[in-house]
Amino acid sequence: MKVSGRHYRTIWLGPGGSVCVIDQSRLPFEFSVAELASVEDAARAIRTMVVRGAPLIGATAAYGLALAVRVDPSDAAIGAAAAELLATRPTAVNLAWALGRMRRRLEAVPPAQRAALALQEAAAICDEDVEQCHAIGRHGMRLIEDIARRVRRRVNVLTHCNAGWLACVDWGTALSPIYLAHDAGMDLHVWVDETRPRNQGASLTAFELGAHGVPHTVIADNLGGQLMRDGRVDAVLVGSDRVTAVGDVCNKVGTYLKALAAADNGVPFYVAFPGTTIDWSIDDSADVPIEERSPIEVTHVTGRVSNGAVATIQIVPNGSTALNLAFDVTPARLVTALVTERGTGAASRDGLLGLYPERRACS
Ligand code: MRU
């Protein structure tokens, strides 16, 4: 996607051999590029959310492993680097998927061939993610077109967190259909949940949509239900960090409440993700690891103050404790449809297997 007229992906190989990423911890106030020169840099970037979003976490881990292999291509070094990267964030399954794919490819060839192959494979993971997200956009756009035909006015879509191009390598998952629909000339508007505690909606989704010229309005997370009651939301469209084999959807905390409100108001609730986000090993959503992050993200907020500086301020009384579970699970029964690179399907085991029939033998 374009920022100030220049096309960017979120991750690319720099001319000096280091890996370049857009530093999302500085957005929306500063657009800057961070260089990752080692596996430690890559792990730190994921852990501190310089990069975030399920597909991008996987892509960064793939390049992180490539940086490690350049230093030491032995099986032992690959195993240690993969363990370090895997420990960075627990919920997005794309991380384990990317590391598993990289290891299988690398360990099948002699160490001397691994450095070049690792870079090639990491680049392939990125290119495939771009293709998949674009395909998600094409399939999801049809849903928006159907709504537009029915309502015959501007279509209002509500989204939570950031499932746009910043969360992926390009295009995004939930935002990809919105970009394609907007580019096709459709009149649409996006309600952007601010997404406390880290405000990925207010800082990242609003930044992306604004840079692309998509009309949008940032709202407090708690407003969505009332907007749905008032008929001001035509569809909810979100991403996911891990979809279970039966179609339950883990995504940024607050997603579940939006799904409940949508069901109560007859608003369709769509979840967009690539096949790499499905965890075929989990049937019971209680087994999805939910990340618990620092309470400081709840007790404090970061923003630009009146003198232009970016500052972090405390918003709770001294001594109050806070709990920061970063994700929740929306049960499949609340999901109207899943949107993947293969098309649209029901949120159920059968729905997923219909889209990914090659998994039938394993399920
Ligand atoms: O904690 P984050 O910012 O990594 O969480 C991101 C989300 O919850 C996104 O909705 C999800 O990764 C889907 S990304 C296309």
Ligand 1 center from residue 200 Cα (angstroms): 9
Distance CA 213, CA 233 (A): 20
Closest CA to 194 of 259, 258, 264: 258
The catalytically annotated residue of 23, 221, 234, 241 is 241
CATH of 141-362, one of 3.30.300.30, 1.20.1740.10, 3.40.50.10470, 3.40.50.720: 3.40.50.10470
The pTM of this model reads: 0.97
Domains in the chain: boundaries? 2-128, 141-362
pLDDT digits (tens, 9 = 90+) for 207-229: 999 999 999 999 999 999 999 99
Helix (H, G, I), strand (E, B) or coil at 278: strand
Q: Cβ(69)–Cβ(115) under 8 Å?
A: yes
Q: Cβ(58)–Cβ(125) under 8 Å?
A: yes
Ligand 1 center from residue 174 Cα (angstroms): 10
Per-residue pLDDT of the chain (363 residues; tens, 9 = 90+): 889 889 999 999 999 999 999 999 999 999 999 999 999 999 999 999 999 999 999 999 999 999 999 999 999 999 999 999 999 999 999 999 999 999 999 999 999 999 999 999 999 999 999 999 999 999 999 999 999 999 999 999 999 999 999 999 999 999 999 999 999 999 999 999 999 999 999 999 999 999 999 999 999 999 999 999 999 999 999 999 999 999 999 999 999 999 999 999 999 999 999 999 999 999 999 999 999 999 999 999 999 999 999 999 999 999 999 999 999 999 999 999 999 999 999 999 999 999 999 999 865
Six-digit token pair at 274? 């690539």
Q: Cβ(126)–Cβ(9) under 8 Å?
A: yes
Is ligand 1 within 6 A of the CB of residue 167? yes
Ligand 1 center from residue 318 Cα (angstroms): 30
Fold equal for 2-128 and 141-362: no
Q: Cβ(202)–Cβ(190) under 8 Å?
A: no
User: Is 241 annotated as catalytic?
Assistant: yes
Q: Which of 161, 173, 293, 324 to mutate to test the pocket of ligand 1 (most atoms within 8 A of CB)?
A: 161
Is ligand 1 within 6 A of the CB of residue 330? no
pLDDT digits (tens, 9 = 90+) for 21-49: 999 999 999 999 999 999 999 999 999 99
pLDDT digits (tens, 9 = 90+) for 47-91: 999 999 999 999 999 999 999 999 999 999 999 999 999 999 999
Question: Would you identify the CATH topology of the domain 2-128?
Answer: Four Helix Bundle (Hemerythrin (Met), subunit A) (1.20.120)
